[in-house]
Amino acid sequence: MKKVLVANRGEIAVRIIRACQELGLQTVAIHSVADRESLHTKIADESVCVGPAASARSYLYMPSIMSAAEISGVDAIHPGYGFLAENAEFAEICEKSGICFIGPTPQQMHSLGNKIKARQLAIKADVPLLPGSEGVIKETKAVKLANEIGFPVIIKAAAGGGGRGMKIARNKEELKRLLPLAQKEALAGFGNADCFLEKYLEHPRHIEVQIIADAEGKIRHLGERDCSIQRRHQKLVEESPCPVLDRTLREKVGDLAVRLVKTNGYRSLGTVEFLFQDEQFYFMEMNVRAQVEHPVTEMVTGIDLIKEQIRIAQGHSLNLPETITPNGHAIECRINAEDPQSFTPWPGKVSAFHQPGGPGVRVDSMLYTGYTVPSQYDSLVAKLVTHGADRAESIARMRRALREMKIEGIRSNIDFHLKLMENVHFQKGNVSTRFLESF
């Protein structure tokens, strides 16, 4: 592997390019017309325009991306997260074209990227699940099944993520009304209208386990992340380790994640996600890619996950200890270009950008003074991460860093995060996925 095309944009493209450069690999950035002046195009060795602003005609348009790979002579593609990162068809095209896809095999993506198939694999691996449909739910059987498992239920899209296609139904009338809406949303977002039902938990925590595995069957879990601070099923704050797990529960959830991955013969970086309520873990899904929140794990383990992911794709075996113990505590705040009151996106030109520094502070971003945040994409513009000897120090550093961070010319949710860090209940770790409903 000598040259890598990064099939993504924004902060994750910048992150991947930097990791490749440290490994001595040449990089090719792709960009839409709207992203011509984005930071990732400036720091890569080469950049290629793949289409107009619309994602469907650029970052999701496989013919243009493969053409860019061909003309630039790359031998590998890193998909990042989102866009084509969990698209098995894209991984297959790369494979047939003789280009290394930095991620799992297409077959592994087929069995784990689809939530219904992942549930079936979890049953095989004896990993606990919430009651739900065994396959795609049909409107004619939805009410009967919901009555059997008990309302409330949650409708979920079989493909994709990010909260799209997710609806909560508390009675049969709501279920009949929301199922078609969820199917329509899933079709528009992922090109797949398949949905399934699952028992809805009222106040769970969202806990996920970072795993990494090589082609030789070596699997390591790198601890858990708590991602319970969410709005409309979208994560806003992540931390590691989870503040409410003791050693026994921590070992238990790690073992469950490894068991699932081992059943699939998985290879690459991945995240196994669980709901946690009343001292019980329930498997939700697996993300077969790098996560937005991977930096918190990097901060507490000292392991560069993107580099490790690339090395595995190069054929190297894992060279990590059997047991990896987190050092200290890390928190990540997702900084979005949005109105802090209505949370509506707020694109525009950045007239000034100052990122915080000091001990235990990390910023992953594509912002710079003079950059124009486009309106066509996700509003995430930076990830602010702090690390401390314990959770209290990590929160104190985050409060200081948020006050120091300045983004002018556009609006952002910095003040929202500052308010959250100063909340007594958050500081005590008393949260669930519904915490922000009463915040």
Confidence of residue 341 (pLDDT cuts 50, 70, 90): confident
- Angle subtended by helix axes 62-72 and 88-96, to nearest 10: 30
Q: Any idea of the CA torsion for 9, 305, 231, 58, to the nearest 10 degrees?
A: 20
In terms of C-beta density within 10 A (0-12 exposed, 13-18 middle, 19 or more buried), how is residue 332 classed? buried
Confidence of residue 257 (pLDDT cuts 50, 70, 90): very high
**Check: CATH 3.40.50.20 for 3-102?**
yes
Which residues are catalytically annotated?
A: 289
Mean pLDDT over each residue of the chain, to the nearest integer: 95
Confidence of residue 439 (pLDDT cuts 50, 70, 90): confident
Instruction: For the chain, give every domain's residue range.
Output: 3-102, 131-199, 205-438
Confidence of residue 349 (pLDDT cuts 50, 70, 90): very high
Four-way CATH pick for 205-438: 3.40.1350.10, 3.30.70.260, 3.40.50.80, 3.30.470.20: 3.30.470.20
DSSP lists the bridge partners of residue 215 as: none
Q: pLDDT at position 410, please?
A: 98
Can you give the pTM of this predicted structure? 0.94
Name the DSSP class of 315: T
Q: pLDDT at position 190, please?
A: 78
Mean of the pLDDT values across residues 113-127? 91
pLDDT tens digit sequence for 150-202? 999 999 998 866 677 799 999 999 999 999 999 998 888 777 899 999 999 99
pLDDT tens digit sequence for 400-433? 999 999 999 999 999 999 999 999 999 999 999 9
For residue 25, pLDDT beyond 90: yes
pLDDT tens digit sequence for 58-81? 999 999 999 999 999 999 999 999
CATH H-level, domain 131-199: superfamily: ATP-grasp fold, A domain (3.30.1490.20)
Q: pLDDT at position 162, please?
A: 67
CA dist., res. 367 & res. 39, Å (int): 7
Q: pLDDT at position 351, please?
A: 98
Mean of the pLDDT values across residues 119-133? 95
Mean of the pLDDT values across residues 286-307? 97
In terms of C-beta density within 10 A (0-12 exposed, 13-18 middle, 19 or more buried), how is residue 404 classed? middle
